[in-house]
Amino acid sequence: MSVESVFHALTYVWLALEILVAVFTTRWRGKVQDRGTQVILWVVIIGSLKVDEWMHGVFAPDMPGSHSWLRPMALAILVLGLGIRIAAIFNLGRAFSANVATHETQTLQRHGLYRLVRHPSYLGLELILLAFGLHARTWACFAVVLIPPTLALLYRIHVEEIALRLAFGAEFEVYCRTTKRLIPGVY
């Protein structure tokens, strides 16, 4: 199997995972505080990927190493992103929700990947998007695939952190002081 075929196969795995997550973890009970962020995020991601697909016919590869190491690196980042996203979802277990929602018996998760960052599933998603951007091998496509979805994701994180503050109060504030949002030790 070529790097290209593995990348495309994993793209379908990712899409299937996201559909399963949306179908089986969207909550309609409890405190749903999503503010439409689930829809916004996926409209932006799908729109960005569609624009990227169109742009492939317009822009030639212009990133350094685009014919040698860039696609294998994109594949490695895709695998890492998928692994982190899947591990974060399983780490949170039944408390994971595709939309921003909390329930009364939920506890604040601070173990596993959640001790490194507050939103490891979003870190995994960002790595997946980074992989798509690098796989495109053009700076214009890279920007289209990464920037709009990142902005939508940052808005979702903002909404989610408001919900977590309301649910966990001081415990969440302590967690925020000791753990970064998305990038360990940076942000």
pLDDT digit string, tens, across residues 32-89 = 888 889 999 999 999 999 999 999 889 999 998 767 899 999 999 999 999 999 999 9
pLDDT category of residue 13 using cuts at 50, 70 and 90: very high
Query: What pTM does this model have?
Result: 0.93
Specify the CATH number of the domain 3-178. Answer: 1.20.120.1630
Is pLDDT at 29 greater than 70 in this prediction?
no
- Each domain of the chain, given as residue ranges in start order, spans 3-178
Write out 20-77 in H/E/C secondary structure.
HHHHHHCCCCCEECCCCHHHHHHHHHHHHHHHHHHHCCCCCCCCCCCCCCHHHHHHHH
CA neighbor of 14 nearest in space, from 45, 40, 57? 45
